[in-house]
Structure 1
Amino acid sequence: MNGTALQVAVLAASSACTMPAAAQQPAATPAPDNAPFDVGQLFATTCGFCHSDGGRAPGRGPQLMDSPRDDDFMRNRIKNGKEGAMPTFGAAFSDAQIDEIIKYIRSLKPREG
């Protein structure tokens, strides 16, 4: 997926946050597993709309840093969303990319300063 295609996917996914889950349309085919993928940028442009400070603080959605939820729960929530709360991203991201998102969430630490 080139930069433009990633931007389109991110914009489509982020706009889904403002729609009721029932009105959300799944994105196109997930990007190939070997596509460039910047999870920090994804959080800054898409996930950060609901998960503040790159997932470190609550916002419209919960804080993700230090989440007690297991990886399977997170994988399911990213793929399938939660009606009325979180859009589905299973069609926007490959399984490998979702694993990278979970890895990013698990690596979150408080910002210094």
Structure 2
Amino acid sequence: MKLHMMKFTALLSGVLGVSSLCAAPVQAQSATPAPDNGTFDVEQLFAGTCGFCHSDGGRTAGKGPQLMNSPRDDDFLHNRIKNGKSGAMPAFGGAFTDAQIDQIIKYIRALKPREG
């Protein structure tokens, strides 16, 4: 009986351990983190990473809000990019450094309507 209980306990511990991995928060998945040398192409990065939800390079709403002329302050944008929003936006803090997130915010602040 004692051996049976030990096996059951070991099995239960394994199942709980695996299930806790499935409950981990969703994080942005990037095959290769952006280079940390300050020279990445923010417009290309935005198109490939953010453009799925923030249409026209962030100029119009898509699945996510329009970012051009955002009323949100830089701290809010930084925290949202870094930490995400449950059920709405993945966290990119594991893919980008704080300095890179600041470059993304500068890109957002510089957005202007396309001509033509």
Same fold at TM > 0.5? yes
- What is the distance in 2 between the residues matched to 1:32 and 1:70? 26
Q: Please tell me the root mean square deviation across aligned C-alpha atoms, in Å.
A: 2.4
Change (3 A) 1:109 1:76: same
> 1:66 is aligned with what amino acid?
N
**Structure-1 residue corresponding to 2:41:** 38
SS across alignment from 1:76: helix
Change (3 A) 1:96 1:46: same
**Structure-1 residue corresponding to 2:78:** 75
Give me the identity figure in percent: 77
What does the per-residue CA deviation read over 1:56-113, in whole Å, with 9 as the maximum and x for residues that have no partner? Answer: 0000000000000000000000000000000000010011100000000000000000
Q: 1:36 Cα shift?
A: 3.1
User: TM-score under structure 1 normalisation?
Assistant: 0.73
The unaligned stretches of length 5 or more in structure 2 are 1-23
Q: How many equivalent residue pairs?
A: 93
User: TM-score under structure 2 normalisation?
Assistant: 0.71
